[in-house]
Amino acid sequence: MENYPMLFPCPNPNSSNYPISSTSGSVEGLMRNFEGENSNNNGGFLGLRPSHDDLEKRSSSSGVGEGKSSEEGGGGGNSGKMKKGEKKARKPRYAFQTRSQVDILDDGYRWRKYGQKAVKNNKFPRSYYRCTHQGCNVKKQVQRLTKDEGVVVTTYEGVHNHPIEKTTDNFEHILSQMQIYTPF
DNA sequence: CGTGTTTGACCGGCGC
DNA sequence: GCGCCGGTCAAACACG
């Protein structure tokens, strides 16, 4: 994947409110609860939810409700590489909707796709990405809404602890290709 | 040859 | 206890 569509999910490049690199506090302030059920969510608002993990209650048949993360190195292929009984680190997650033609919103980091699953209430599959930087366990998942093909929901999990690889000159290009849904 | 994608299977929690 | 469901791994493949 060398063609970088390059979209950045930040409405204000000059602002310090980067969804990923900044502290969660400032980001949380900007967004509203995203728990309204997505599929019926005819959009129009920027959904962001710093998940506090525990209250993950999915409404079974009605909700897409994300399950819990099983932490890195978890589960999977029974090769016996994960330690069981390890405590689960709960990480904050940031979700936001963007309007874009492309699914992959490149924010300047390098992502490796590690999975793709179909979600029950959506026709479009959800893609799982992980930052390829060593020691950087930032994960991200991209999902497209059924109702609005133009709306892409991106969920970031974790914080990068290494500098970006690309210059920020691309922001102009990035912003030209996307528009953020704002409730205001 | 290195890097990332594809894809099926598996894991683990929760609901029933 | 079983089955659903979301999340993840890993081998094979594709591409530069």
- Give the Cα separation of A129 and A90 in Å (integer): 18
Closest nucleotide to the alpha carbon of A141, via C1': C7
Please, which pLDDT band fits residue A127 given cuts at 50, 70 and 90? very high
Q: Specify the long-range contacts of residues A59-68, CB closer than 8 Å, at least 24 apart.
A: A62/A37, A63/A37, A63/A38, A63/A121, A64/A37, A64/A38, A64/A39, A64/A119, A64/A120, A64/A121, A64/A122, A66/A155
pTM metric for this prediction: 0.64
pLDDT computed for residue A162 by the predictor: 79
| Across A3-7, A133-137, A152-156, least confident range | A3-7
* From the candidate CATH numbers 3.20.110.20, 3.20.20.70, 1.10.1040.10, 2.20.25.80, the one assigned to the domain spanning A93-180: 2.20.25.80
Q: What does strand C contact on the protein, if contact means CB under 7 A?
A: A 2, 58, 60-61, 64-77, 79, 81, 114-117, 119-120, 126, 128, 130, 139, 141
Mean pLDDT of A62-72: 37
Q: Is the pLDDT of residue A115 over 50?
A: yes
Residue type, A132: T
Round to a whole number and report the distance in Å from the CA of A1 to the C1' of C15.
Answer: 8
Q: What is the pLDDT of residue A141?
A: 87
Distance A110 CA to B13 C1' (A): 31
Protein residue at shortest CA distance from C1' of C10:
A77
Distances in Å between the Cα of A144 and the Cα atoms of A70, A137, A138, A181 are: 23, 23, 20, 14
At A155, the pLDDT band (50, 70, 90 cuts) reads confident
Q: In whole angstroms, what is the distance from residue A140 CA to residue A97 CA?
A: 13
Q: Which nucleotide is nearest to A113 (CA to C1')?
A: B5
- What positions of strand B are covered by protein, i.e. any atom < 7 Å from a CB? 3-16
Domain ranges of chain A: 93-180
Q: Is the pLDDT of residue A103 over 50?
A: yes
Q: Find and list the nucleotides of strand C having atoms within 7 Å of a protein beta carbon.
A: 5-11, 16
Q: What is the C-alpha separation between A172 and A159, in angstroms, rounded?
A: 24
